[in-house]
Structure 1
Amino acid sequence: MSATRAAAGVGGYDRQRELHAFDDTKAGVKGLVDAGVTAVPAIFHHAPDPLPVLQQASGDSNVARTTIPVIDLSCARRDDLVRGVKAAAETVGFFQVVNHGVAGGLLAETLAAVRRFNEAPAEAKRPYYFRGNARKVRFSSNFDLFQAPAANWRDTLFCDLAPEPPRPEELPEAVRHVMVEFGDAVRALAERLLELLSESLGLARDHLREMGCVEGLGVASNYYPPCPEPDLTLGSTRHTDASFLTVLVQDDMGGLQVLVDRGDGRRGWLEVPPLPGALVINIGDLLQLVSNGKFRSVEHRVLANKSRDTPRVSVAAFCSTDVIRSTRVYGPIEELTSSDGSDPPLYRSITIHEYLAHFLKKGLDGRHTLDHFLLLQPTPTV
């Protein structure tokens, strides 16, 4: 059924009624699974994606574009690290880091705590179910449930951890012992990565940090229950991140894919393979904006969970400015543009509030959020 027919209630299907009925349960997708659903409800149906799934490149001329780099942060030569993050940020926009300084035990316990929260009885989770941003800690299924063309097979516990963390009693008991510690650890890692990224742009080491790129930290703990018809839906629609930098820990289930350009005019989806102990790093929209397009915030998605009985869990830390109090205007960094027309600014200057207002209004609708702020609008692509 098309989105237009569904919205109009053709054939007895009233999409808005179904969305409200699902939301009113406050049990999320896990609630559907617990109820024994054997078919994916129509509100979760996605149109088929025409783009192919690519294999990791090996030994061809486009290897940088069709491989997710793995960077060892224990490398002794800083110049090598700078070159590594520069190449990744300018091509595929994603890389994995190992020997990053975040304890493996902390990462494992964070994933386990998120799983325990989601697998608690529905009545234990309902007090945290909330739409909007007025609470620092909120549980919901699909923040854009009423905006997006199709819902995703995923539930999320979101915590605003910086600049001011929630009080312990605001956090669910299942994650209370670990969430703030996890946030502090990945924020310290993000500061280190931003130094490398600053240097790769030819800027002072602390330039991006001084711009407030990691003043704020929001953590989305995602739970992807097994899906009875995974080919009909997605765990997360293709999107870019509303951040400067994102740090992600994923379990060993797989399913995260990045949209890449092979360099020969062909595009497709590339798996980000789970790597024990690694953290996945990706460039966010705001870093693409201030770098004047030199760094790439790349679209990515998560497939619906094909397992019969095992959930997928991931925790994404979104590094940004202080989204509550910041009045800073962000635009292309002056040193990265030129006045002679050879490297003009690509984006208009905006506040974080302007960006987020547009991001939240449109939801995960498959369109690149940054296109709205381009000084010259692009020709539409697939």
Structure 2
Amino acid sequence: MAGPVKELAAPAAVKTTALNCISLSDPDINKSVSLLKQACLDSGFFYVVDHGISQEFMDEVFFQSKKFFDLPLPEKMKLLRNEKHRGYTPPLDELLDPENQVHGDYKEGYYIGVEVPKDDPQAEKPFFGPNQWPSKDILPGWRRVMEQYHQEALRVSRSIAKIIALALDLDADFFDKPEMLGDPIATLRLLHYERGKASNPVKGIYGCGAHSDYGLITLLATDDVVGLQICKDKDARPQIWEYVAPLKGGFIVNLGDMLERWSNGVFRSTLHRVIVDGQERYSMAYFVEPSHECLVECLPSCTSETNPPKYPPVTCAAYLSQRYKDTHLDLTSYHENQTREEKT
């Protein structure tokens, strides 16, 4: 799918932005709230350290991610994402910025959600159901590592959500309710940018097109290869992009669109993209959204007579389903290609 490329000239030298760093082990919660609030008002991005996940385990998760992406493409395609968004996404599967991209993203990924057995009534919901797992014969121990990381990342997310709640003048446990992070749609996505596939914004080629995330917050762990860029003011012309430096042992955390809706635009969901220079790059994004039935509507602490709600209420499931549909290839296109190949 091609579209007009707005970025017609090579951008000026891109600087690296400075982000606030929040320690989850700091006993001074007011300090953490202040740092987070400033970050949310400024850029919507911040670092989180001292989160309790060991570096050894983080290294193991990256190692296991690489083992999957090193598999031959036919093996990976056996685990092609399903209608529940579980499994493998090939390069060009996702198109996040059709106004600037001539093709989809030059990245491959793997979705892992909350594990829900097929016979569980919850499995009828979008984004819930069994995960797809590589064969134990091919990748022994892979599922165990990914499930443990999924649980650890959710624990960290809940800790961050407490600080966000306090920054919004809410009770610390606001996001712990069953309809929110008590029964979340939490999705781990492993990502791989292939060596030799350099981005070229002038030609509309991106590792990952410009977008804002859909949910509450995203925890991003990366290797040491620079690539993530953010645009603090999406309405500026021209847009100014800044790199975010990787932070070994820490997470890069950003706010999603649902939090922007909840906060009535006080906290912003920031545009970001990935520009790679041809180096191989690995990252792991953990997307945290509330439950399917959660109604995302303006918080009382974020509205007034002079600042009425900017967004209509919407359920989490409806909002997410539409966003995924808008940005991913229709699965029937893969099945049609397979049928054509079988006939030739």
* TM-score, scaled relative to structure 2: 0.79
Distance 2:217 2:46 in 1: 12
Q: Distance in 2 between matches of 1:49 and 1:222?
A: 28
Native 8 Å contact 1:248 1:280 kept in 2:
yes
For 1:247 and 1:130, locate their aligned partners in 2 and report how far apart those are by CA, in whole Å.
21
What amino acid is aligned across from residue 90 of structure 2 in structure 1?
S
1:312 to 247, 262, 281: 281
Distance (Å, rounded) in 1 between the aligned partners of 2:131 and 2:312: 40
Tell me the alpha carbon deviations over residues 44-84 of structure 1, each in whole angstroms, 9 at most, x when there is no partner: xx66465545424xxxxxxxxx5222222232311101111
1:279 to 247, 251, 272: 251
Shift of 1:321: 2.1
- Matched residue, 1:43: none
Q: What residue in structure 2 maps to residue 379 of structure 1? A: none
* Aligned-pair identity (%): 23
Query: Which of the numbers 91, 114, 121 marks the counterpart of 1:141?
Result: 91
- Does 2:216 align with 1:244? yes
**2:55 is the counterpart of 1:91:** no
Query: 1:142-194 deviations in whole A, cap 9, x for unaligned?
Result: 44369945211111111112677976873454331311111101100000000
Counterpart of 1:200 in structure 2 is 167
Counterpart of 1:161?
114
Aligned positions of 1:344-355 closer than 5 A: 344-355=308-319
- The answer on whether the counterparts of 1:128 and 1:137 sit within 8 Å (CA) in structure 2 is yes
| CA contact 2:226–2:276 (8 Å) conserved in 1 | no
Offset at 1:362? 2.9
**Which residue type is aligned with residue 349 of structure 1?**
P
* Residue from 140, 153, 157 that aligns with 1:186: 153
Distance in 1, matches of 2:274 and 2:97, equals 19
CA contact (8 A) 1:154 1:236 kept: yes
> Which one-letter code corresponds to 2:113 in the other structure?
D
1:305 and 1:129 mapped to 2: Cα distance? 27
Distance (Å, rounded) in 2 between the aligned partners of 1:110 and 1:285: 27
- Secondary structure at the aligned position of 2:245 is classed as coil
C-alpha separation in 2, matches of 1:92 and 1:169: 35
Change (3 A) 1:167 1:300: same
Name the SS of the counterpart of 2:113 in structure 1: strand
Q: Is 2:194 the counterpart of 1:225?
A: yes
Change (3 A) 1:343 1:230: closer
Check 1:216–1:172 CA distance in 2 against 1; reply closer, same or farther (3 A cut).
farther
Aligned 8 A contact 1:97 1:281 in 2: yes
Distance 2:314 2:28 in 1: 37
Does 1:330 find its partner at 2:290? no
Q: Which moved more, 1:140-149 or 1:279-288?
A: 140-149
1:356 maps to which residue?
A: 320
State which drifts further: 295-304 or 230-239. Answer: 230-239
Please list the CA deviations of residues 14-39 of structure 1 after superposition, one character each: whole Å capped at 9, or x if unmatched: xxxxxxxxxxxxxxxxxxxxxxxxxx
* Partner secondary structure for residue 234 of structure 1: coil
Within a 5 Å distance, the mapping from 1:203-214 to structure 2 comes to 203-210=170-177, 211-213=179-181
Q: Determine which of 88, 107, 115 is the counterpart of 2:66.
A: 115
Query: In structure 2, what is the Cα distance between the partners aligned to 1:73 and 1:343?
Result: 33
Task: Quickly say closer, same or farther: Cα 1:72–1:319, change in 2 above 3 A.
Answer: same
Provide Cα deviations, 1:78-129, integer angstroms capped at 9, x if missing partner.
Answer: 1101111111112100111111111111211111111110111223212102
What's the CA shift for 1:305? 4.3
Equivalent in 75, 92, 105 of residue 56 of structure 2: 105
* Structure 2: gaps of 5 or more residues: 118-127, 329-344
User: Quick one: structure 1 residues 229 and 235, their matched pair in 2 at CA, closer, same or farther if it must change by over 3 Å?
Assistant: closer
Normalising by structure 1, report the TM-score: 0.72
Specify whether residues 213 and 342 from structure 1 end up closer, same or farther in structure 2 by C-alpha distance, changes over 3 A only: farther
Q: 2:341 corresponds to which residue?
A: none
Q: Whole-Å Cα distance in 1 between the matches of residues 241 and 97 of structure 2?
A: 25
Which of 276, 292, 296 aligns to 2:264? It is 292
User: Following TM superposition, by how much is the alpha carbon of 1:205 offset from its aligned partner in structure 2, in angstroms?
Assistant: 0.4
Do the aligned partners of residues 347 and 313 (structure 1) sit closer, same or farther apart at CA in structure 2, a change above 3 Å counting? same
Change (3 A) 1:343 1:151: same
Is this contact kept in 1: 2:61–2:146, CA < 8 A? yes
CA distance in 2, matches of 1:146, 1:246: 16
* Paired positions, count: 306
Q: Which secondary structure does the structure 1 equivalent of 2:241 belong to?
A: strand
Q: Indicate if the aligned counterparts of 2:86 and 2:131 stay in contact, CA closer than 8 A.
A: no
| CA distance in 2 between partners of 1:337 and 1:251 (Å) | 40
Matched residue, 2:30: 79
1:10 maps to: none
| Alignment of 1:343 onto 2:343 | no
Question: RMSD value over aligned CA atoms?
Answer: 3.0
